[in-house]
Structure 1
Amino acid sequence: MVKDLLIKFLFILATLSFAPSVVSETPVALQEQKIKAGLVYNLIKYTAWPKTPLTPPNQIKNTYNSTTLTICLFGDDPFDGYLAPLQGRTAQQAIISIISVTSIPETASCNAIIVHHSQRDQLPKLLEFVQGRCILTLSDIEKFAELGGMIELARQEEKIELKINKDAVDNSKLVIDARMLKLAKIISKGGAQ
C-alpha cells in the first residue's frame, strides 16, 4: 500500500507541468533532469534481475550480482549529475555503482545502461550487443523504445512519459513490476498499446 502510494506520487510528480522560466530555460531543464534521475532510481528499484545464470556458465552473458548493481552511463551523463546521489544507495538488495563507459564492449558488465543522446548513432550496435542479456536499457532519446530500447523517458509537451518496450524487456529476462507497467505507455511489435 505504501509502496503503491510512493510510486504513484513519484509519477505524478514526474508528469506535473514544468513551470515556465521567465529568466532562462536552464532551471526548467535542470528540474526535468532531476525528475528523470528520480524515475531512473525507481525503475531500477522495481525491476527484477535473474538471481542465477540463465545460460550455462561458459556462455554467461550477464547476470545480476547480488552485491553490486552497476548503472553504466554510455556517453555523457544525460541527467547533469543528478544520478550521482544514487552512488552507494541500495536497490534490489545491492549497492548501486555508477560508471561511465565509452565503448559497446564495456557495457557487458552493466546491469543497466543509460544512453546519452550523443550516442544515438551507436544505438543499433548497442541494442544488438545487449540483446538477450540481462541489461536494462534506458534513454531520453526520441523513439528509443520504438527503436528497441527498453525504457524511454520521453518528454511529451511539458510532462515526462514512460514508454516501455515490453518485447525488449521480456527478451532480456528482466521483470518490471506490474505497477510500473500500468503507469507507462507500452510499446510492442504491433505498436503502442
Structure 2
Amino acid sequence: MKALLGAFVVVLLGLACGRFVVASPAGEYQIKAAYLLNFARYVEWPAARLPPAQALRVCVLGRDPFGGALSALEGRQVNGREVRVRQLEGADQAGDCHVVFIAESEERRLAAMLRALSGRGLLLVSDIDGFVEAGGGIGLVTEEGRVRFDINQASLQRDGLRASAQLLRLARSVHGARVP
C-alpha cells in the first residue's frame, strides 16, 4: 500500500510538472495506470453518462500491458466515485465503461475500434503511436524516458467530454482545440 501511495504522489508531482522519468517497462505501466486515474479526475462526463452515485469504470481493450498496476487501482476513489477495472474482449463490451485504454495489441484494428467507440461518451486513451491523430482522445507518449500525453480536444468534445483547463495546460500538445 505504501508503494502505491508513493507512486501516486510521484504521479501527482509529475502531472504538476508534466513529466515523468521512466525507470523500466513495469514502472512505465505503473505510471500510465496512475495517469488513467488522474485523467478521470480532470475530465468531466455528461451527468447522463456518469450519474453521481455510479462507479467509474476503467477498461482495457486488448492484451493488458499493465500487469497488476491497473488492478491495484480497483476500489480507489476518483471525485467521490469508486474505481472499477475491467478487461474487455471486444469494443462491443465497452458500453458500461467510462475510460477505455486501447492496448498496443489492437494497433492493426485501431481505425475500426475508434469508429466503434466514437460518440459513446468514452474517454479513449492509448499509447499506440499516432493515436490522437487517428481520432483518439488522449495519447500517452514516452519521450526521452518520460511519459507525456497529447490530447485531441475535438475527439473529447465529440464524445461529450470536457477536459479541465489544467489538464489541457499539462498536455504536451492539444489537437483540434477550438479557437476563441
TM range (shorter): 0.7 to 0.9
What residue in structure 2 maps to residue 112 of structure 1?
99
Cα distance in 2 for partners of 1:181, 1:13 equals: 13
Pick closer, same or farther for the CA change 1:8–1:84 going to 2, 3 Å.
closer
Moved more, 40-49 or 86-95: 86-95
Larger-Rg structure = 1
Q: CA RMSD in A?
A: 2.2
CA shift, 1:16, in A, is 3.8
Inter-partner Cα distance in structure 1 for 2:35 and 2:20: 13
The answer to whether 1:184 aligns with 2:171 is yes
1:34 Cα offset (Å): 1.2
| 1:78 CA drift (Å) | 2.2
Q: What CA distance in whole angstroms lies between the structure 2 residues aligned with 1:31 and 1:12?
A: 19
Q: Deviations over 1:98-152 (max 9, x none)?
A: 1111111111221110111001122111211221221000111111111111011
Counterpart Cα distance in 1 of 2:106 and 2:159: 21
Shift of 1:8: 6.1
- Count of aligned residue pairs for this structure pair: 168
**TM-score using structure 2 length:** 0.84
CA distance in 2, matches of 1:14, 1:166: 18
Post-superposition offset of 1:7 = 7.6
List alignment gaps of at least 5 residues for structure 1.
20-27, 53-62
- Consecutive aligned runs of 4 or more in structure 1 exceeding 4 Å deviation: 5-8
Identity among equivalent positions (%) equals 26
CA contact (8 A) 2:135 2:155 kept: yes
